[in-house]
Amino acid sequence: MHHTTPITELKGIGEALAKKFALLGLHTVAELIDYYPRRYEDFSVITETAHIQPGPVTIEAEVKQVTGRYVRRGLHITEAVVSDATGSVRLVWFNQPYRAGAIKHNQPYFISGLYERSNGRFSIMNPSMELSGDFPINTARIIPVYRETKGLTSRQIRQALKQVLGTIRTLPESLPPEILKSQKLISLAEAMEAIHFPSDASQLERARKRLGFEEVFRLSMAALLNKRDHQTEKGVAIGFDKGLAREFVSHLPFTLTDDQRKVVWQIYLDLQKSEPMNRLVEGDVGSGKTVVAAMAAVMALREGWQVALMAPTELLARQHAETLYRLLEPLGSASAVDLLVGSLSAKQKTAARAAIADGDAAFIVGTQALIQEKVNMDRLALVIIDEQHRFGVDQRKSLQAKAGHMPHVLSLTATPIPRSLALTLYGELDVSILAQKPGGRKPIITKIVSPNSRPQLDKAINAQLDAGRQMFVVCPLITESESLKVRSAEQVYEEFRKKDFKSRRIGLLHGKMKAADKNDVMERFVRHELDILVSTTVIEVGVDVPNATVMLIEGAERFGLAQAHQLRGRVGRSHHQGYCYLMMSDSKAPSKRLRALESSNDGFRLAELDLELRGPGAIYGSMQHGQLDLRIAKLSDTTLIAAARSAATKFLAEHQDLSAFPLLEAQVARLRAVTNLN
């Protein structure tokens, strides 16, 4: 069987079931093999029936008796008695009438399930059974559990994987022999079989080590190759004007933090080189990244170069344009700021493009529209990317083609990234950190609230609204869910509008709305035509509403620390005190995550804790960064990460290209396109 074989050629997978597999992204044998378990259940210990205890158990026994009956309409019970040399035990299945006819008497079975009390008797409830002479996949081993979808269970996924074991065992090796030997790693074929069907815990750990190492190794290779290529590019050297920097700072209504001064100086040193800058400024919410970017831009503008700032949304682009206009006005450079976004009229776009082409518009602010072919920026020397996690290799090359040289690239992110994760994600970037907050900002007061305290909370919120302030409300879902007992954005919006805050002006914002409608609602909130904005996490990045002082997070336990902290950063952005209320879905004791959020405003500390508690997915989620291959590697495993990075560096030093290793070359090539905030 070939890895490109459609899964419909596997036994038992017809058209209907194939559609279920397709919902999980599984169409071929290769995609099935690459579908890793999300967790494991250990049924590997075989116990004699005389010694079984309540809980998960596995026995090896023969079936002595089996009966099936309907006890009432819609409920069928199958019962069996099985025995080994030490005794007998009862098995019970609900609504599985086929069981009685499928069981073979007086043949040894592995039987795994939950041994518990039911109707006054102990039984193994709804157990899995497999003949003990077969290769077991549901019993008597560490059993993989996969992410499922309605109509497709882990049992069915395991059955499909059992059919492709031959293909798994002949998988070609993807790592060079020298790496396998130096790192004492098992082969890819061994690792893939063990990740799906581990014979024991130690083999599973060896598989995780092998696959986790390869993930970090490939990612490190991609980053190192990108960095190596970038270093061969030619940019433009931009001089440092000390007087200009001093003049800019003298007009600021606040004092720069030590971190801001340090990072600006790092950027100035980069700009003076002909090698293009590729720097990430990582700063917590409100740490002053825009001012740092503006200080970098003024040096390029002074020498007659153009600067482009790309934001992820039109609203954020407009806010940046207004902020930059204010910052550059005292220098007489405000007229250089121009806005190019999708909602401009055709006439406005034509005028903006002409101004850019003529060089009259030197500081261009916009969205991805800036890298479209119609925009001519041959004097472009500096690109600033704000929270634009989809700006990568192809986009940089597009800008290089426009300018005829590689511009300096300065990326900004408000997502605090733990050092171990930053080094893995951004191996090709130079990273600067803004940890300090500008003076005068009051720490946001954060409180955990139970549903029973909602009346008191409403009173506190109304006091803020009466004082002319505004409130964000963020919900984890758009619409109500039967399985998740949390309040949705639509539900909260209706309750607020009809009951809790019916005298207030309330807006609703979520991801399923059209872009123009979302922009309109957000603009109305910015203009204070709305008092309350009920939203999902679409307001997470960048939005600046200084008059908003209250952030209410509904179902707060469903948000990661890094994500909730970023949401909290939407308020307290002026001299007014900011408040964040973490509303729980029930009255249970608050989690460690919520307690940490209540007690700390340090985004970097919270991100480290989030990584420890939930893994990198929590941070990836808040970054919209879903294409990286870290599905096995634990970023808390610093030893493995350091070894993989070191091995990648050494390997590239000894092998100038990867053509001798075609599988590795293909995997790294794919990753090169999605690293560097892509």
Q: What local confidence, expressed as pLDDT, does residue 513 receive? A: 87
Where among 140, 170, 185 does a domain terminate? Answer: 140
Decide if 22 is inside a domain: no
**Helix/strand/coil for 95:** coil
Domain span holding position 462:
445-600
Decide if 131 is inside a domain: yes
Residue 253 banded pLDDT, cuts 50, 70, 90: confident
Pairing status of strand 408-413 against strand 337-340: unpaired
One DSSP character per residue, 590-623 reads PPHHHHHHHH---HHHHHHHHHHHH-HHHHHHHH
Total structural domains within the chain: 3
Where among 77, 109, 140 does a domain terminate? Answer: 140
Q: What is the pLDDT of residues 382-397, one digit of tens each?
A: 999 887 555 555 666 6
Give yes or no: residues 456 and 359 share one domain. Answer: no
Give yes or no: residues 407 and 481 share one domain. Answer: no
One DSSP character per residue, 243-261 reads HHHHHHHHT-SSPPPHHHH
Where among 112, 140, 168 does a domain terminate? Answer: 140
Average pLDDT over residues 628-656: 83
CATH number assigned to the domain comprising residue 509? 3.40.50.300
Q: Tell me, what amino acid is at 305? A: W
Q: What local confidence, expressed as pLDDT, does residue 58 receive? A: 97
Q: What local confidence, expressed as pLDDT, does residue 677 receive? A: 40
Give yes or no: residues 404 and 450 share one domain. Answer: no
Give yes or no: residues 450 and 525 share one domain. Answer: yes
Decide if 95 is inside a domain: yes
Decide if 154 is inside a domain: no
Give yes or no: residues 408 and 453 share one domain. Answer: no
Decide if 101 is inside a domain: yes
Distance CA 428, CA 408 (A): 14
Give yes or no: residues 402 and 525 share one domain. Answer: no
Give yes or no: residues 451 and 533 share one domain. Answer: yes
Q: What is the pLDDT of residues 458-477, one digit of tens each?
A: 999 999 999 999 999 999 88
CB atoms within 10 A of CB 668: 22
The dihedral through the CA atoms of 232, 234, 235, 236 has a sign that is positive
Give yes or no: residues 493 and 543 share one domain. Answer: yes
CB of 140 within 8 A of CB of 127?
no
Average pLDDT over residues 492-501: 91
The residue among 367 and 182 whose pLDDT is bigger is 182
Residue 616 has pLDDT above 70, yes or no: no
Quick check: pTM over 0.85?
Answer: no
Strand order of the β-sheet with 532-535 is: 445-449, 579-583, 548-554, 470-474, 532-535, 506-509
Residue 598 has pLDDT above 70, yes or no: yes
Average pLDDT over residues 501-525: 89
Give yes or no: residues 409 and 450 share one domain. Answer: no
Give yes or no: residues 366 and 454 share one domain. Answer: no
Decide if 399 is inside a domain: yes
Decide if 11 is inside a domain: no
CB within 8 A of 388, min separation 6: which ones?
310, 311, 312, 368, 411, 677
Residue 55 banded pLDDT, cuts 50, 70, 90: very high
Lowest mean pLDDT among 73-82, 368-377, 650-659: 368-377
Strand order of the β-sheet with 337-340 is: 337-340, 363-366, 306-310, 380-386, 408-413, 278-283, 430-434
CATH number assigned to the domain comprising residue 92? 2.40.50.140
Give yes or no: residues 368 and 509 share one domain. Answer: no
Decide if 341 is inside a domain: yes
Pairing status of strand 142-145 against strand 39-42: antiparallel
Give yes or no: residues 458 and 401 share one domain. Answer: no
